[in-house]
A and B are shown apart, each in its own frame.
Chain A
Amino acid sequence: MNDTTKLARKDDTTVARRDDEQSPRRITLAPPVDVFEDSQGVTLWADLPGVTKDRLDVKVHDGNLYIEAEAVVPTPAGLRLQHAEIRQPHFARAFSLGADFDASKIDANLKNGVLKLTIPRRDEARPRRIEVRTN
């Protein structure tokens, strides 16, 4: 088990794009993330303000983890926007997962616009101490 994981940023730009979208030129925001690892696996936190459960899509495909979401903020009719720091309601970010992760056991939890993903390691990939006998 080496010390690095392949759970690395696939696209480091602020604008990420998926090719198989219906509107391939749709511009999305890359949400900021925290990534921590312990002996059990990796925990990923992503800021997705305004996103509800039904507008969030987390999927694993070909060893890549995709997070796609759309923010919906209810506003009154006839709103004229005067100042915007978030201009796109679409979030997307992708990561590659190493083979030592168990993609079938990923747990996703969305609370107050923050997504928490728990990506466990395969049992056989977890670090274990080997007893040394002395006889």
Chain B
Amino acid sequence: MSDLYFGTDLFSEFDRLQQQMASLFGGFPSSIRSGRSGAFPQVNIGSTDDSIEIVAFAPGVDPASLDVSIDKGLLTISGERGSAQPEAGDDTRTYAQERFVGAFRRVIELPQHADPDKVTAQYTNGCLTVSIGKRETSKPRAITVQ
């Protein structure tokens, strides 16, 4: 379970540095579909020998409004999150509004060996977990030395 996160914050320091560098010099090319950094929902991607695991951190989204689709090797996660702001009353004051509100869409480019026929998606505790199987031919196998 802990493998979902890096144990050290060194990487995010590098990330921050890289973002600063990118804003200065234009940076290294990243996926044209990756969007701006810090987009909602935040996504972690990992893989096992059998599957590709994608976790989207999308708290407070109605599962019925979540749309997960795969088309031409692209995984799209889209939906909408409503505002928590109460109905505008005379005496309602807002002190902080940091949480994301509105429609969102994240697109993830899947590797060639992802099998779009073997996909499961589950939404629990505000996390959407998408598991995509790998094609048999791409799985690691030991090669016998003769």
Q: Is B129 close to A, CB under 8 A? A: yes
The number of residues on chain B lying at the interface, defined by a beta carbon within 8 Å of a beta carbon of chain A, is 49
Contacts A35-B95, A81-B6 known; A73 to B129 CB distance under 8 Å? Answer: yes
Q: Is B141 close to A, CB under 8 A? A: no
Chain B residues, Cβ within 8 Å of A77: 48
**Which B residue sits closest to A55, measured CB to CB?**
B125
Check B6 against A82 for contact (C-beta < 8 Å). Answer: no
Quote the shortest CB–CB distance from B72 to chain A (angstroms): 20
Q: Mark B70-89, 1 if CB is under 8 A from A, else 0.
A: 00000000000000111001
Q: Is A7 close to B, CB under 8 A? A: yes
Quote the shortest CB–CB distance from A75 to chain B (angstroms): 5
Check B1 against A49 for contact (C-beta < 8 Å). Answer: no
Q: Is A52 close to B, CB under 8 A? A: yes
Check B57 against A86 for contact (C-beta < 8 Å). Answer: yes
**Count: A-B pairs, CB below 8 Å:** 161
Rounded to whole angstroms, the CA-CA distance of A37 and B85 in the bound complex is: 10
Contacts A37-B92, A81-B4 known; A113 to B60 CB distance under 8 Å? Answer: yes
Rounded to whole angstroms, the CA-CA distance of A44 and B51 in the bound complex is: 38
Check B84 against A45 for contact (C-beta < 8 Å). Answer: yes
Chain A residues, Cβ within 8 Å of B98: 32-34
Check A74 against B1 for contact (C-beta < 8 Å). Answer: yes
Chain A residues, Cβ within 8 Å of B38: 85
The listed residue (B42, B47, B93, B129) touching A37 by CB distance below 8 A is B93
Check B84 against A75 for contact (C-beta < 8 Å). Answer: no
Rounded to whole angstroms, the CA-CA distance of A79 and B45 in the bound complex is: 10
Q: Is B25 close to A, CB under 8 A? A: no
Check A37 against B95 for contact (C-beta < 8 Å). Answer: yes
| Nearest 3 CB-CB pairings of A with B | A113-B126, A113-B59, A32-B98
Give me the interface of A with B, judged by CB distance under 8 Å: 5, 7-9, 15, 27, 32-39, 42-43, 45-52, 71-89, 111-114, 116, 127
What are 15 A-B residue pairs whose CB atoms fall within 8 Å in the complex?
Answer: A34-B94, A36-B86, A38-B86, A43-B84, A47-B59, A48-B59, A49-B57, A49-B59, A72-B1, A79-B53, A81-B6, A82-B45, A83-B44, A84-B45, A113-B59
